[in-house]
């Protein structure tokens, strides 16, 4: 397996092979072209593996292993000739022939080991394939120390930028290939001769209690099973990670780390993690289950692949100017020897990459190499566990057919992806396959797991453990939900970041875009929320709350990250990424995070709903400060006159925006992922037993009954109207403030404190609903919003701005600043109350089962109110300014709460206890 594992040193040797061919007759070959060798290897593996699996059954495991080791070594040796010819010849020898040899030797080696230890299939599978992962530990060092002991650098400019051109280095490559072929032959031959097959009675007797439920009696039965195809999908998707990371990690590293020996060291240590990761995931599967281990693997791969590109942004490279001049002077190299005028190590230092970038890059690569090989330890074990010892190897060989397609896709799409979107696009596309793995794994019901995304299968007694009557895992889930909500709540920092986004696009190709135009992004977000939420509510019922939260967190972060690209293009593209994609992610994560918390505390629906959504309101408290302190620490002012009046134009500030978007995407990803992993679903008996006295009069037996109820439509009207306040004030408060307050840091502080009030307001109204009633709390909310929003415009009339001639800084009257801040804080304290009360009143009215579904239907009102705001905001501001804008939306917003005046009941229990507007009926 160590010899076969030399496949993982391909990412290292490919840089030398490509550079060699560029200097020997194929000057236009690139790293992206050379990946066809790896793709040929993988496609051959997929095409021939099922046939070779059948051949192995006929000729026996030992013969298959022996022939395979010889053929594998032959493929490398013949490459000594083809590397001096054409790329397709290299693909034929180093790709096709070597892959045939691996196919013959790989599976019988694994299955033989598992036959000897049938009670520990996954662990032994991990042990044996750890040798496969450990191959590059040896061969990376052999390759680099033989071919490049002087640590020659790649070219840093010109036609050969990123490639080796030193003839001393390149002339060693053919001899290196012969050396490797000889080592492969003698090592693998020795290993093949040491393998002995156990007696059949050995593993049949010991294994009879493990696989006694297996009903697969022929390989035809395997093809009829659902489990095979779910495992096939997982194998297909996970291969993208191994191919892209294994094939491109060094190529990507060379774009910002100019130290070949460091990258070789990273590759060498990779093999240690590659080896130990197989052991770890094999052990994890034995102790927990295939589902748990595979789910953890998919999550880690998705997270670290999606954020790998950001390691290249940690600082800029520096170099000695004299060194650069010497390195570019090719006349120093004559006839493969260095003249007396060659590089003086003391005069010329290497290109220097920031230490933080090197360390972070290494950690990310090691984590990925520790993780993606886990499937190679688990899938052989789960195949024999599911399909039996006799057909387990055959089943595993069938999984390799997916390699045909994914290798073809990597080979065809890598180059255009890198050329069009860079490594960022390549890594983001690859990380998306992790979601496919999660879905496929979640639907594998045969693999002994009830709770697919909890780290441990918690039994009911553990889940019911309490401290002072408070469920322990309820508190953990509540904390996890708050983390997810903090990320989703970054939506409320849109009013702050919109000023920078609009100003950036005005200075980068879209000079006519205004703040009113940019509100399209917010409207897209809201309309997407309204149009997709009912569908996503149904999806959540079928895939489960935890899966929905996890996928939603990933998609939300992806929407922000992709805006790094779209912000440099067109406004509609920004609306598609920062609006549409992010909204889809929020929809998937929002409601299940709330309803899970309510399930844990069914007697305090309003308060707990307020607590969980307070995290949603608190998001801008964090992200407003991150945004402003990162992009505008100098407190640059907006323009006070001219065509760009009211917009930022300072290039220092604006050039920071793309990096800020990437930073935010990374933060969103890690915070929401941690939160999603902490959320645990309670046992159904927990909330059914505790909630039976609350919802025992509920008559809603299906989601169709919800649509027939009067209560739903009255709640829908309230939901339609109240978001007018949040949309207008949340989207325009800073834009309005900038018309008379010329202090970006003050307005950012106002926005930050807003999030505190946003957070605490949800708690307050949730508590108020529990203590009084939904009607009373909503009526108070409507009155406060109407009064303070009506008077907001008049804060701009409190005095006139002054300026100091020497510094040209304009000063707004203190009274205007204070009054503006107070009114904004009161409004932000009040309008989020509906987001705390409505989830609670839905579960109280429609029951735990359909409460989340009912709440998702209310979001359809967002289609209309976001459409109205998006269409009317610009003409209202242009024709009459902010006064008319605020007045119109106040009238619309007040209509909704008035529906409570005719609301005869919200639930049976409320009718008995509360009057329409009285505090408590005692």
Task: Check residue 682 and report its DSSP letter.
Answer: P
pLDDT band at 41 (very low <50, low <70, confident <90, very high): confident
- Residue % of the chain over a pLDDT of 90: 5
Element (DSSP H or E) covering residue 503: helix 494-506
Query: Residue holding tokens 């070779």?
Result: 52
pTM to 2 decimal places? 0.55
If you ran DSSP here, which 8-state letter would residue 350 be given?
P
CA-closest candidate to residue 9, choices 125, 93, 133, 130: 133
**Strands in 652-762 per DSSP E:** none
* Residue among 499, 664, 652 at smallest CA distance from 577: 664
pLDDT in tens, 691-729: 444 444 555 666 677 777 888 888 888 877 777 777 777
pLDDT of residue 226 exceeding 70, the answer is: yes
* pLDDT score, position 336: 33
Calpha distance 277→137 (Å, rounded): 14
Residue 825, pLDDT above cutoff 60: yes
Buried b (16+ CB within 10 A) or exposed e, 23-43: beeeeebebbbbbbbbbbbbb
Q: Per DSSP, what are the bridge partners of residue 333? A: 338
Distance, CA of 228 to CA of 773 (rounded, Å): 53
- Distance between terminal CA atoms of the chain? 78
Would you say residue 210 has pLDDT above 50? no
Would the pLDDT of 500 be above 60?
A: yes
Confidence of residue 450 (pLDDT cuts 50, 70, 90): very low
Asked if 161 and 19 count as a contact pair (C-beta separation under 8 A), the reply is no
Report the C-alpha gap between 474 and 16 in whole angstroms.
55
CB contact burial 852-888 (16+ within 10 A = b; e otherwise): bbbbbbbbbbbbebbebbbebbbebbeeeebeebbeb
* CB of 637 closer than 8 Å to CB of 744: yes
Tell me: pLDDT of 78 over 90: yes
Say yes or no to pLDDT of 754 above 50: yes
3-state secondary structure of 865: helix
pLDDT of residue 324: 43
Instruction: Flag whether pLDDT at 410 surpasses 90.
Output: no
Burial profile 148-164: b = 16 or more Cβ within 10 angstroms, e = fewer: beeebbbbbeeebebbb
Closest CA to 838 of 627, 591, 662, 551: 591
CA torsion 342-347-348-353 (nearest 10°) is: 160
- Tokens 């609301």 sit on residue: 903
| Cα Rg, the chain, nearest whole Å | 32
Contacts of 873 (CB under 8 A, 6+ apart): 516, 519, 728, 731, 732, 885
Q: Which of 456, 130, 124 is nearest to 289 (CA)?
A: 456
Q: What angle do CA 435, 436, 442 make, to 5 degrees?
A: 90
State yes or no: pLDDT of 348 exceeds 70.
no
Return the higher-pLDDT residue of 847 and 911: 847
Nearest to 83 by CA among 178, 182, 205, 201: 178
Residue 248 CB partners (closer than 8 Å, separation 6+): 11, 31, 35, 414, 423, 426
Q: Is pLDDT at 671 greater than 90 in this prediction?
A: no
Report the pLDDT averaged over residues 94-114.
85
User: Could you count the other beta carbons within 10 Å of the beta carbon of residue 450?
Assistant: 12
Q: What is the mean pLDDT of residues 886-907?
A: 52
Question: pLDDT value at position 335?
Answer: 33
Worst-scoring range by mean pLDDT, 98-102, 176-180, 339-343, 509-513?
339-343
Ordered by where they begin, the domains of the chain are 4-202+221-320+349-442 (1.20.1250.20), 460-913 (1.20.1250.20)
Q: Which of 530, 610, 534 is nearest to 840 (CA)?
A: 610
Alpha helices, DSSP H, located in 254-373: 260-287, 290-307, 321-328, 355-371
Mean pLDDT of 648-667: 87
| Dist. CA 127–CA 377, nearest whole Å | 8
Q: What SS3 class is residue 639? A: strand
Tokens standing for 916? 């329409």
pLDDT band with cut points at 50, 70 and 90 for residue 49:
confident
Distance CA(215)–CA(208), nearest Å, equals: 13
Residue labelled with tokens 């608190």? 618
Spatial separation of the C-alpha atoms in residues 400 and 50, rounded to whole Å: 7
Where residue 458 falls among pLDDT bands split at 50, 70, 90?
Answer: very low
What mean pLDDT comes out for the span 201-207?
Answer: 57
Mean pLDDT of all residues belonging to the chain? 76
State residue 217's pLDDT score.
63
CA atoms within 13 A on the CB side of 166: 22
Taking alpha carbons only, the member of 637, 633, 643, 536 closest to residue 590 is 536
Instruction: For residue 149, give the H/E element and its range.
Output: none
């Amino acid at each position: 397996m160590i010899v076969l594992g030399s496949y993982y040193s391909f990412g290292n040797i490919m840089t030398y092979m490509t550079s060699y061919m560029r200097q020997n007759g194929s000057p236009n070959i690139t790293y992206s072209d050379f990946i066809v060798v790896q793709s040929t290897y993988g496609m051959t593996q997929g095409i021939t593996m099922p046939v070779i699996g059948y051949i192995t059954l006929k000729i026996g495991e030992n013969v298959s292993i022996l022939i395979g080791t010889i053929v594998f070594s032959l493929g490398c040796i013949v490459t000594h000739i083809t590397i001096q010819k054409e790329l397709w010849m290299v693909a034929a020898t180093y790709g096709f022939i070597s892959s045939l040899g691996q196919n013959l030797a790989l599976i019988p080696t694994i299955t033989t080991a598992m036959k000897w230890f049938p009670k520990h299939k996954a662990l032994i599978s991990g042990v044996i394939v750890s040798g496969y992962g450990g191959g590059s530990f040896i061969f990376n060092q052999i390759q680099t120390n033989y071919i490049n002991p002087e640590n020659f650098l790649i070219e840093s400019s010109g036609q050969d930028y990123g490639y080796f051109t030193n003839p001393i280095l390149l002339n060693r490559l053919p001899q290196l290939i012969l050396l490797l072929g000889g080592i492969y032959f003698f090592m693998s031959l020795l290993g093949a001769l040491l393998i002995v097959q156990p007696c059949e009675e050995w593993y049949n007797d010991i294994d009879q209690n493990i696989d006694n439920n297996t009903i697969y009696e022929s390989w035809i039965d395997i093809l009829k099973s659902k489990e095979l195809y779910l495992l096939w999908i997982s194998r297909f998707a996970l291969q993208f990670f191994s191919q892209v990371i294994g094939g491109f990690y060094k190529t990507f590293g060379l774009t910002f780390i100019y130290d070949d020996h460091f990258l070789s060291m990273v590759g060498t240590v990779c093999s240690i993690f590659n080896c130990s990761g197989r052991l770890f995931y094999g052990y994890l599967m034995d102790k927990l289950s295939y589902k748990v281990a595979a789910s953890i693997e998919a999550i880690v791969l998705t997270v670290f692949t999606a954020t790998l590109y950001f390691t290249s942004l940690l600082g800029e490279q520096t170099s000695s100017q004299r060194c650069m001049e010497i390195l570019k002077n090719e006349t120093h190299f004559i006839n493969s020897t260095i003249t007396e005028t060659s590089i003086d190590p003391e005069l010329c230092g290497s290109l220097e990459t920031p230490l933080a970038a090197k360390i972070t890059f290494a950690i990310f690569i090691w984590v990925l190499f520790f993780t993606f090989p886990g499937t190679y330890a688990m899938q052989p074990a789960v195949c024999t566990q599911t399909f039996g010892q006799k057909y387990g190897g055959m089943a595993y060989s069938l999984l390799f057919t997916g390699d045909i397609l994914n290798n073809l896709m990597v080979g065809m799409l890598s180059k255009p992806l890198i050329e069009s979107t860079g490594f960022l696009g390549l890594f983001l596309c690859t990380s998306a396959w992790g979601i496919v793995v999660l879905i496929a794994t979640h639907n594998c019901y045969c693999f002994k797991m009830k709770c697919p995304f909890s780290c441990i299968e918690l039994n009911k007694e553990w889940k019911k453990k309490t401290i002072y009557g408070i469920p322990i895992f309820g508190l953990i889930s509540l904390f996890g939900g708050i983390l997810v909500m903090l990320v989703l709540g970054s939506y409320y920092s849109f009013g702050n970041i919109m000023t920078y986004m609009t100003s950036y696009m005005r200075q980068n190709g879209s000079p006519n875009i205004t703040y009113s135009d940019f509100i399209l992004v917010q409207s897209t977000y809201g309309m997407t929320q309204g149009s997709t939420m009912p569908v996503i509510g149904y999806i959540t019922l079928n895939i489960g709350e935890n899966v929905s939260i996890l996928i939603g967190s990933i998609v939300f972060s992806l929407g922000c990250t992709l805006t790094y690209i779209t912000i440099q293009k067109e406004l509609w593209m920004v609306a598609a990424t920062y609006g549409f994609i992010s909204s889809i992610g929020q929809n998937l994560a929002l409601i299940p995070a709330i309803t899970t918390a309510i399930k844990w505390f069914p007697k305090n629906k309003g308060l707990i709903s307020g607590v969980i959504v307070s995290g949603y309101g608190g998001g801008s408290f964090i992200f407003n400060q991150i945004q402003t302190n990162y992009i505008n620490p100098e407190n640059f002012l907006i323009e006070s006159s001219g065509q760009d009046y009211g917009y930022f134009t300072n290039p220092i500030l604006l050039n920071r925006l793309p990096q800020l978007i990437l930073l935010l995407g990374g933060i969103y990803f890690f915070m929401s992922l941690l939160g999603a992993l902490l959320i645990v679903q309670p046992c159904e008996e927990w909330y059914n037993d505790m909630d039976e006295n609350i919802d025992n009069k509920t008559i809603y037996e299906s989601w169709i009954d919800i649509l027939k109820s009067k209560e739903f439509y009255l709640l829908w009207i309230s939901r339609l109207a109240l978001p007018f306040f949040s949309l207008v004030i949340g989207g325009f408060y800073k834009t309005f403030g900038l018309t008379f307050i010329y202090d970006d840091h003050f307005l950012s502080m106002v926005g930050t404190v807003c999030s505190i009030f946003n957070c605490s307001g949800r708690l307050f109204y949730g508590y108020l609903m529990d203590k009084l009633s939904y009607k009373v709390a909503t009526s108070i909310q409507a009155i406060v919003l109407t009064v303070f929003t009506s008077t907001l415009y008049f804060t701009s009339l409190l005095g006139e701005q002054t300026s100091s001639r020497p510094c040209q800084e304009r000063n707004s009257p203190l009274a205007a600043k204070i009054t503006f801040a107070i009114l904004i804080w009161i409004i932000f304290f009040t309008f989020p109350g509906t987001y705390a009360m409505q989830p609670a009143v839905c579960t109280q009215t429609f029951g735990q089962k359909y409460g989340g579904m009912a709440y998702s239907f209310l979001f359809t009102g967002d289609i209309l109110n976001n459409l109205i705001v998006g269409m009317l905001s610009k003409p209202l501001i242009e024709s009459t300014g902010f006064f008319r804008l605020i007045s119109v939306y106040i009238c619309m917003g007040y209509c909704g709460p008035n529906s409570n005046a005719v609301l005869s009941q919200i639930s049976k229990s409320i009718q008995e206890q509360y009057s329409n507007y009285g505090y408590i009926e005692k």
